[in-house]
Amino acid sequence: MKPLPYPLSGGISPVFSPFQLHMHHNMLNEYVKKTNKLANETEWITLDAAGMLLATSGKAEHAALHASAAETWNHEFFFQCMKPGGQPPSEEMTEFIKLHFGNMEDFLERMIYNAQALFSNGWVWVVANSKTAYEIVSTPDGTCPLTLGLYPILGLDLWEHAYFAQYNGRKQDYVRDWWNAIDWDFVENR
Ligand SMILES: [Fe+2]
C-alpha cells in the first residue's frame, strides 16, 4: 500500500476532519486486506492494484477481486491527490488548466456539475483519453478509469461515505472544500 504523503492524525484541511480521514482511510485498509485475501490463490498475487484490476477486468468469476482492487487503486489515488491546505497550481499547471478547461472557476463548476449529475455512489475524474486530450468523466460505483483505457490525473470520491456525514449531504460544499485540498503538484506530475 502506498504510504500517505501526510500524517493521518491531522486530517486534510479543509475537506476531511481527522476523524473523517481516519474513517475513510480505514476503508482503504479493508479494501487492501480483502484484495490480498481474494488474490492469494490466483496468478495475480504479485501484481499491484492496477495490475490486478486490469487482469481481472471483464472476468465475471473474478468480479469480487476486480471490484476490491479497483477501490484500492481509486482510494490510494484519491488520497495522493490531496494535501492538507492544498498546493496551488504552478504557472505551468495554470496554463494547462486554461488550455483544457478554461479558468479555474469554470473547471470547478464543471467538476461540481459532474458530481451533482452522479445520482448514486461513484467517482468524478479528470483523465487523459486515448487521443491525448483531457476530459472530465464520471464512473459508477468503484469503476476505475484505467479499465476504460483512460489515464486519471485527478480523482474525486463521491461515495456517500466520503461526504454525507461531514457535509450533511451537501455535495457542492464537499467538492468546493476538496478543491482547496488538491495537491496540484501531484496532478502536474501525473
Ligand atoms: Fe471512499
DSSP states along the chain = -PPPSS-GGG-BTTTB-HHHHHHHHHHHHHHHHHHHHHHTTSTTTTS-HHHHHHHTTT-GGGHHHHHHHHHHHHHHHHHHTB-TT-BPPPHHHHHHHHHHHSSHHHHHHHHHHHHHH--SSEEEEEEE-TTS-EEEEEEETT--GGGGT-EEEEEEE-SHHHHHHHHTT-HHHHHHHHHTTBBHHHHHT-
Residue 7 has pLDDT above 90, yes or no: yes
- CA of 146 from ligand 1 middle (Å) equals 17
Percent of residues, the chain, with pLDDT higher than 70: 100
* pLDDT reported for residue 2: 79
Q: What is the mean pLDDT of residues 18-44?
A: 96
Q: What is the pLDDT of residue 3?
A: 85
**Residue 91, pLDDT score:** 97
- Which carries the bigger pLDDT value, residue 4 or residue 1? 4
Which pLDDT belongs to residue 130? Answer: 76
Q: Calculate mean pLDDT across residues 125-143.
A: 92
Give the Å distance between the CA of 92 and the centre of ligand 1: 30
pLDDT at 185 over 90: yes
- Whole-number Å distance, alpha carbon 75 to ligand 1 midpoint, is 6
Q: How far apart are the CA of 71 and the centre of ligand 1, in A?
A: 8
How many Å apart are CA 5 and CA 163, to the nearest integer?
21
Cα 158 to averaged position of ligand 1 atoms, centre (Å): 7
Query: In angstroms, what is the span from residue 91 Cα to ligand 1's centroid?
Result: 31
